[in-house]
């Protein structure tokens, strides 16, 4: 578990991996597997889970001196603040459930955020054992399967070997952020794939929050002893702001809209009202689902508002 350091190791910088964060504090794992509580130098917290950092031992803990270049950063941004989930990801596993009914708008927003950072998204639909609700939810996901998103059916409360094997095959050798609303079964999935995850989460939460247990910690778990397969568990979310994306960039980040956006009469078409719009034509023909087009319109309006 993470240690508070006593004494100094000299001025040399060491490299490590951020494996947990809460507020301004984080836990850095060294190449030898030691975990050290660290804080950023200066006032601003910049390191997120998944970051490779250079850190220096200090008398009590450690100080992060530099965040090394990232391949990507998965985050959301509303009018007031930015919430960074994790960095240097191979994929995002978006876990939703047949019950409670998932928000298609939330799902679309998470997919757009992944597309913007060139991170592969995978959709997992849980509670396959609830036959009627699952069939309804699976049908709602038809447009996403049509866009060639991988959609994985799961029954985590009645998991058989096939489900575990499918998940393991999907995750092996990669760093995956598991994202989803409360009630989708995220904790069940983590505990299924990472034995002892609950105890580890409690220890990390207490270390980062002065002894208080918290569920707001983003945590990195190794799935194997070779340390080449990782799951990152992030707290559930209610809102997913996309204010870091320009309205006119939105179409290219939604595959079903992007497919027909080049068929428009005007090069700067918003795909909302212009004559000769290829997207509107496909909506009218039924090739683009009404719910997806409604979400596009709502997001375009949201992202078009004046930014201060």
pLDDT (tens, 9 = 90+) of the chain, 308 residues, equals 555 444 444 558 999 999 998 777 899 999 899 999 998 887 666 899 999 999 998 877 899 999 999 999 999 998 778 888 999 999 999 999 999 999 999 999 999 999 999 999 999 999 999 999 999 999 999 999 999 999 999 998 766 678 888 899 999 999 999 999 888 989 889 988 887 776 566 666 666 665 444 455 789 999 988 889 999 998 776 678 999 999 999 999 999 999 999 999 999 999 999 999 999 999 999 999 999 999 999 999 999 985 54
Residue 128 annotated as part of some ligand binding site = yes
Which pLDDT does position 163 carry in this prediction?
85
Same domain, 222 and 283: no
Whether 238 is covered by a domain: the verdict is no
292 is in an annotated binding site: no
Residue 74, strand partner residues: 86
201: annotated binding-site residue?
Answer: no
Residues 107 and 215 in one domain: yes
Annotation-wise, does 186 bind a ligand? yes
Residue 126 annotated as lining a ligand binding site: yes
**Residue 45 in marked binding region:** no
Shared-domain flag, residues 20 and 127: no
Residues 20 and 91 in one domain: no
Residue 2: predicted pLDDT: 59
233 is annotated as contributing to ligand binding: no
Q: What is the DSSP letter of 194?
A: S
- Do 162 and 19 share a domain, yes or no? no
pLDDT of residue 213: 44
- Residue 10's pLDDT is 53
Query: Residue 157 annotated as binding?
Result: no
Please give the model's pTM, rounded to 2 decimal places: 0.89
**Range of the structural domain that residue 252 is part of:** 247-304
Sign of CA dihedral 212, 218, 222, 227: negative
Question: Can you give the pLDDT at residue 58?
Answer: 81
265: enclosing H helix or E strand: none
Asked whether residue 225 falls in the same domain as residue 77, the answer is yes
CATH code, domain with 29: 2.40.50.140
Q: Is there a binding annotation on residue 187?
A: yes
Residue 28 C-beta-side C-alpha neighbours within 13 Å: 30
DSSP, res 252: G
User: Cα(66)–Cα(56) distance, rounded to whole angstroms?
Assistant: 10
Cβ atoms of 25 and 208 within 8 Å: the answer is yes
Claim to verify: residue 155 and residue 84 sit in the same structural domain: yes
Rg (CA), the chain: 21
Structural domain count, the chain? 3
Q: What is the CATH number of the domain that holds 121?
A: 3.40.50.300
Has 183 been labeled as part of a binding site?
yes
* 123 exposure class (CB count in 10 Å sphere: 0-12, 13-18, 19+): buried
Is 271 a known ligand-binding residue? yes
- The response to whether 188 counts as a known ligand-binding position is yes
User: Is 182 within any annotated ligand binding site?
Assistant: yes
Whether 129 has a binding-site annotation, put simply, is: yes
Please report whether residue 5 resides in a domain.
no
Whether residue 239 lies inside any domain: the answer is no
Last residue of a domain, one of 48, 67, 86: 67
Q: 306 CB contacts (<8 Å, ≥6 apart)?
A: none
Residue 12 known to bind ligand: no
User: Residue 217: what pLDDT?
Assistant: 76
Task: Choose the final residue of a domain: 206, 233, 260.
Answer: 233
User: Is the previous residue joined to 100 through a cis bond, with omega within 30 degrees of 0?
Assistant: yes
Q: What whole-number distance in Å separates Cα of residue 298 and Cα of residue 302?
A: 6
């Amino acid at each position: 578990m993470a240690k508070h350091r006593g004494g100094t190791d000299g001025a040399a910088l060491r490299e490590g991996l951020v494996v947990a964060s809460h507020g301004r504090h984080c836990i850095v794992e060294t190449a030898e597997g030691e975990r050290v509580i660290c804080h950023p130098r200066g006032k601003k917290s910049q390191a997120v889970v998944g970051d490779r950092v250079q850190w220096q031992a200090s008398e009590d803990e450690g100080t992060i001196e530099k965040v090394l270049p990232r391949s990507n950063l998965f985050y959301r941004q509303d009018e007031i603040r930015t919430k960074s989930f994790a960095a240097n990801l191979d994929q995002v596993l978006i876990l939703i459930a047949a019950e409670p009914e998932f928000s298609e708008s939330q799902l679309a927003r998470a997919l757009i955020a992944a597309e913007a950072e060139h991170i592969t998204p995978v959709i997992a639909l849980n509670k396959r054992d609830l036959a009627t609700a699952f069939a309804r939810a699976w049908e709602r996901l038809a447009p996403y399967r049509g866009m060639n998103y991988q959609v994985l059916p799961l029954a985590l409360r009645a998991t058989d070997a096939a489900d575990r094997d499918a998940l393991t095959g999907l995750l092996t050798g990669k760093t995956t952020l598991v994202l989803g609303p409360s009630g989708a079964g995220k904790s069940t999935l983590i505990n299924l794939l990472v034995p002892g995850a609950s105890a580890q989460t409690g220890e990390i939460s207490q270390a980062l929050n002065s002894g208080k247990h918290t569920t707001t910690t983003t945590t990195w778990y190794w799935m194997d002893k070779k340390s080449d397969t990782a799951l990152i568990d992030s707290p559930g979310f209610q809102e997913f702001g996309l204010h870091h994306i320009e309205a006119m960039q939105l179409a290219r980040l939604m595959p079903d809209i992007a497919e027909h956006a080049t068929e428009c009469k005007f090069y700067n078409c918003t795909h909302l009202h212009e004559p000769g719009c290829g997207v509107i034509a496909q909506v009218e023909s039924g090739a683009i689902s009404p719910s997806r087009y409604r979400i596009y319109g709502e997001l375009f309006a949201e992202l078009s508002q004046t930014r201060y």
